[in-house]
Amino acid sequence: MRYSLMRTTILILFFSTIIQLSAQNPSTVFNIPIFAYHRFGDDRYPSTNTSDKVFEDQLIFLKENKFTVLTLGEAINLWQSAKPVPEKSVILTIDDGYLSFYTNGWPLLKKYGFKATSFIQTETVGGGDFMSWDQIGEIMKAGIEIGNHSASHAFFLNLPQNQIQAAFRDDLLKSLDDFKKYLDFVPDLYAYPYGEFTRDMKDVLKKEAVKAAVVQQSGVFSESSDPFAIPRFPMGGSYGSLQGFQDKAAMKALRVIATRPDSPFFTANPPEIEIDIAPGVLDVGKVQFFVGGLKNEIEIINTQGNPPSVVLKADKRLLFRRTFYTITAPSIDGKSWHWYSYLWINPLISE
Ligand SMILES: [Zn+2]
C-alpha cells in the first residue's frame, strides 16, 4: 500500500516536471483562436453573415490590442518547424468564396493590413453569389491564402459508411484539378464542408499531401490539436458579436489526450463519451459541460485519475444533424479559460 502510494507520488512528480518543462518552451506550447466567417455585409442570410460594422470593430480590437494575425499556412509552418508562435495570435478564415468577401470583407482587411485564409469550393466559383477565378486570383496575389473546401461541397456523411472514402477522394482530386487549371496553384490546406469528417476522410487528405484541415467545432488551435481536425470558432449571426469575438480571442485550448469513442456517429441517444484531459494545467473539478449552449450535468468527473477524465452524456436526446458537447474550465491559477468541443453527427437528419 505504502509502496504504491510512493510510486504514484513519483509518477505525479515526473509528469508535472514534463509539463512544466514544456510550458517554459514557447516553441512547443501555443494557443491560436481561429475564427470562421462566411458572408460580410449581406443581410439576406443573417445566420452566416457578419456586418461590416462588427467586422471592422473586430479588426480594430485586434489592431489596438497588438494581436498577430497569421494565415493558417504560416501557423502550420511555425508548428511543424517548432518555431515560437507570437503569444497573442489569431487566424481569420472565410469559407465558401462568397462575392461579399471580395466586396465587403477584403477591403476592411486591407484597410487594417491583415491577412486571412479563404476556403473555396471549386464548383460554385463564378456563380451569381460567388467570386470568379479572376477575383480569387487577385486576392491571392494580394496575400490572401487560398485553401480547399472541396469541389462539390457535398454531405459526404450521407453516403453509406463504406462509400465515404472513395467519394471523398474523387471529389478531392477533382477540386485539385480545378485549382491547378484556374489558379496554377494547388492548396495544401483543407476545410471540410459543413465541418463534417470521419477518420477515413482524414486518411485521404494525408495520402494526397494535404498538410492540415480545419473543422467547425469550436475550440483553440494548440500543439495538442489533431492537424486534420483543427477547431475554429464560428463567426456570423448570433455568434458574431464583438464581445463574443473578444472573449474567444483570449480563450486557451483545453488539451485533450484521448476520447472514447473517436467517431462522430452514435447509436445510443443521447450518446456518452469519456474524455481524458491533459494533467497539470486545468482545475478539472471546475469543468463545465454545455450542449447546444445549454449547461448540462456531468456524469462523472475523475479529478484524481492519471490522466484526469470526464464522462459526458447530454440530459436530453440529440435532435439535430450536428450537436457539440463543449467543455470549458479555468486554469488552476484562475488566469485563463480553456475550451474543447466534440462533434456528433446524425446523417439521417437533413440540414
Ligand atoms: Zn462551406
120 Cα–ligand 1 center, Å: 8
Q: pLDDT by residue (tens digit) across 288-333? A: 999 988 999 999 999 999 999 999 999 999 999 999 999 999 999 9
Work out the average pLDDT over 120-133: 97
Residue spans per domain, the chain: 24-252, 257-345
268 Cα–ligand 1 center, Å: 29
38 Cα–ligand 1 center, Å: 8
347 Cα–ligand 1 center, Å: 17
194 Cα–ligand 1 center, Å: 6
Work out the average pLDDT over 53-63: 97
Q: pLDDT by residue (tens digit) across 180-193? A: 999 999 999 999 99
Query: Does 24-252 match 257-345 in CATH topology?
Result: no
d(CA 324, CA 291): 6
16 Cα–ligand 1 center, Å: 41
96 Cα–ligand 1 center, Å: 5
* pTM check: above 0.85: yes
9, pLDDT greater than 90: no
Work out the average pLDDT over 106-124: 98
82 Cα–ligand 1 center, Å: 31
154 Cα–ligand 1 center, Å: 9
Work out the average pLDDT over 214-242: 93
Residue entry with cell 487528405: 205
Under CATH, what is the fold of the domain 24-252? TIM Barrel (3.20.20)
Burial (0-12, 13-18, 19+ Cβ within 10 Å), 59:
buried
d(CA 66, CA 251): 16
What per-residue confidence (pLDDT) applies to 6?
46
Under CATH, what is the fold of the domain 257-345? Immunoglobulin-like (2.60.40)
Residues with CB under 5 A from ligand 1 (ion): 95-96
193 Cα–ligand 1 center, Å: 5
Q: CA dihedral in degrees (23, 27, 33, 36; nearest 10)?
A: -150
121 Cα–ligand 1 center, Å: 7
Parallel, antiparallel, or unpaired for β 288-291 and 272-277?
unpaired
Kindly indicate the confidence band of residue 236, based on its pLDDT and cuts at 50, 70 and 90.
confident
149 Cα–ligand 1 center, Å: 7
46/28: higher pLDDT: 46
Kindly indicate the confidence band of residue 78, based on its pLDDT and cuts at 50, 70 and 90.
very high
Q: Where are the alpha helices (DSSP H) in 65-157?
A: 72-80, 99-100, 106-112, 133-141
